[in-house]
Amino acid sequence: MKLGINNSVGIGGPSQHVPSDPFFDNVVLLLNAEDGLVDKSKYARTLTPIANTAVSTVWAAQGDQSVIYDAAGDSLSFDASASEMDFATNDFTIEATLRWTTDPVGTAQAIFALYTANTNNRSIFLQYAGNIPDWRASVYSAGTSTPTFIVNGTTPVVAINTEYAVALVRKDDDLILFVDGVEKDRQALSASFDIFTNTALGYISGLISPSTLSQNLQSVNLDELRVTIGVARYTADYEVATAAFPEQ
């Protein structure tokens, strides 16, 4: 039983069912790798591969392809300076599915991060901190390397060749972390907490420190990454999607 928000509806006649996302106008980034390293949101952001980041057909959460990061300093960067990328006090949902092919215990793996210019100052940082180990997300109020609020979940510990769907949600003044549709942590933000929005660079997986292009990642595939601003798609435990996120 789904307890969050329904993410898609169908359009078309009896012989045609085209999935549609009622919140697609709020989607600011959508990556499924089916057509390469391409943003399928209406903004069609340029995604720039770093090092050996590439498309893989070995595994996909949905469809036939995913993004492979092979532990060689890989990441995908994008320009995050546009106003529609301002999280500020808005509800939001950041979600992705990952599958490690090497053991990440003892290392950290960024999943989604926003930084100020080319420094270590952040506004949002979602990761699997294998050295803890735990799933962890941080939000920042002043664009520093010290988080203002953190949510984290100690389970599940990542096993290789296993899929994990992670989601970070803000609903009003609650910050909520889900793994595989299960709420792992919820923290109350201060009233109308304003996430630092003077960001310039975004990274999808890999980089821990963009100022030095350093990272600690193990080999991992990423698929079905979607960032929605203005909508908290999940507010309680939910069923993970069994189809690709709609592209309209």
Distance CA 3, CA 64 (A): 29
Average pLDDT, the chain: 86
Please write the tens of the pLDDT for every residue from 49-91: 988 899 999 999 999 999 998 866 788 999 998 999 999 999 9
**Does residue 245 fall inside a structural domain?**
no
* CB-based contacts of 52-57 (< 8 A; 24+ apart in sequence): 53/206, 56/221
Q: Which residues constitute the domain of residue 25?
A: 21-229
Give me the number of domains the chain comprises: 1
Confidence of residue 3 (pLDDT cuts 50, 70, 90): very low
| Sign of the alpha-carbon torsion through 124, 180, 208, 39 | negative
pLDDT band at 166 (very low <50, low <70, confident <90, very high): very high
Q: How confident is the model at residue 9 (pLDDT cuts 50, 70, 90)?
A: very low
Query: pLDDT tens-digit profile of 171-199?
Result: 999 999 999 999 999 999 988 899 887 77
Give residue 197's pLDDT: 76
Which CATH number goes with the domain that contains 31? 2.60.120.200
Please give the average per-residue pLDDT across 204-231, as a whole number: 80
SS3 for 3? coil
Domain annotation covers residue 236? no
**What's the confidence (pLDDT) of residue 130?**
80
For the entire predicted model, the pTM comes to 0.91
Residue 15 lies in a domain: no
Does residue 33 lie in a domain region? yes
- Within-domain flag for 154: yes
